């Protein structure tokens, strides 16, 4: 998909990739992905399939941009809510930005791109907003195209 940008919008509070959990089954240690992470990855993969519209996964170096729009706590004062909307108050709470990014990298593997190792540049920003959502864009790396 030369030159194309894939954009995915996931409604709702941004979610991070959960750490693998360990359990002992029949005397053997097994790791598993938490249910919340599996569910969110499934939603992202489904939206990614829709965005790709039947096209094959992108190849070559890619850039990924993630904007995590966190909901503003209703318990905050009007003044603090206004500061959050203005970008003065910033979300320094969980989920961690790197774990949000990791969820999208893993969920879009083999759908938007062949493998997340193709991502040569990534940017993630957490902000407060009136509508909680996560906006992800994947674009072929322009530096690689120019050479």
CA distances in angstroms from 38 to 44, 77, 94, 110, listed in the order given: 10, 35, 19, 16
| Mean pLDDT on 5-11 | 96
For the chain, the structural domain boundaries read 6-146
pTM, to two decimals: 0.85
What mean pLDDT value characterizes the chain?
89
**Which structure tokens are listed for 47?**
């939206």
- Which CATH topology does 6-146 take? 60s Ribosomal Protein L30; Chain: A; (3.30.1330)
Pairing of the two strands 62-71 and 119-129: parallel
Confidence band, pLDDT 50/70/90 cuts, at residue 32: low
**For residue 2, what pLDDT is reported?**
45
């Amino acid at each position: 998909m030369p030159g194309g940008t894939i954009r995915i919008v996931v409604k709702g509070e941004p979610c991070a990739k959960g750490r693998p959990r360990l359990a002992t089954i029949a005397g053997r240690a097994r790791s598993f992905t938490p249910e919340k992470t599996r569910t969110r990855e499934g939603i992202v993969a489904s939206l990614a399939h829709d965005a790709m519209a039947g096209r094959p996964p992108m190849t070559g170096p890619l850039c990924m941009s993630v904007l995590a729009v966190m909901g503003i706590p209703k318990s905050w004062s009007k003044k603090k809510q206004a500061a959050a909307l203005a970008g003065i108050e910033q979300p320094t709470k969980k989920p961690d930005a790197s774990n949000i990014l990791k969820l999208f990298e893993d969920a879009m593997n083999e759908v938007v791109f062949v493998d997340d190792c193709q991502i040569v540049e990534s940017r993630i920003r957490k902000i407060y907003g009136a509508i909680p959502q996560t906006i992800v864009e994947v674009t072929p790396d322009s530096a690689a195209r120019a050479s």
